[in-house]
Amino acid sequence: MTTADQAIRAQLIVPEQRELFDYWRSKSVDGCYPTRADIQPAELRRVLPSLSLLDVVDGEPARLHVRLAGTRLRDYLGVEITNRFLDEFDLGDQTDYWEAAYREVIRAGRPAQGVISLAPWKQPGVFQFWLRLPLADAEGRIVMVLGHDAFLQSEKAHALAGKANLRIA
């Protein structure tokens, strides 16, 4: 595991995200990112409701098409996002935040993680702990993004962050 990977993993305070990150790393061979074919849903049953799979659609800037979004995302976001483009949603003042996160994964080719309020989705007391992992094609280009989202009420989010010595605004 690279130093950068160790840093990302150390910041993951949701156990399912550490589990997914470790699984994703185990599918990386010779320093190359896994492909979609390397990811087996049957091996991820426990986290399937929280997973998303996004296609990177070429263009400038690249667009993200949601191929699959688990039921937990629909439950918290209040809308089905499968088969839609992310830029179809009004994220308000979080638009730049999400564009930077996906740019990190797609252009820089690195995993990214963070936590953000669900206020734009009319869930002001809920925090979204997110993880985004690049998936490559046979030539090594990032063509998909594997995501995991955990939604925690404010009290639980602060308690979990406190255990990891992190602060949530």
Tell me the domains of the chain and their CATH numbers: 3-163 (3.30.450.20)
Q: Within 10 Å of residue 162's Cβ, how many Cβ atoms?
A: 12
Q: What is the DSSP letter of 8?
A: H
Strands (E), the chain: 51-57, 63-69, 112-118, 123-136, 142-153
pLDDT attached to residue 158: 58
pTM (two decimals)? 0.87
Residue 57 half-sphere exposure toward CB, CA atoms < 13 A = 11
d(CA 136, CA 131): 17
Tens digit of each residue's pLDDT (9 = 90 or more) over 26-82: 998 887 899 999 999 899 999 999 999 999 998 777 889 999 999 988 888 788 999
Contact yes or no for 126/153 (Cβ under 8 A): yes
Average pLDDT of the segment spanning 148-159: 76
Residue whose entry in the numeric block shows the structure tokens 């955990």: 150
What is the residue type of 35? T
Give the confidence band of 95 by pLDDT, cuts at 50, 70, 90: confident
Helices (H) and strands (E) in the chain, counts: 5, 5
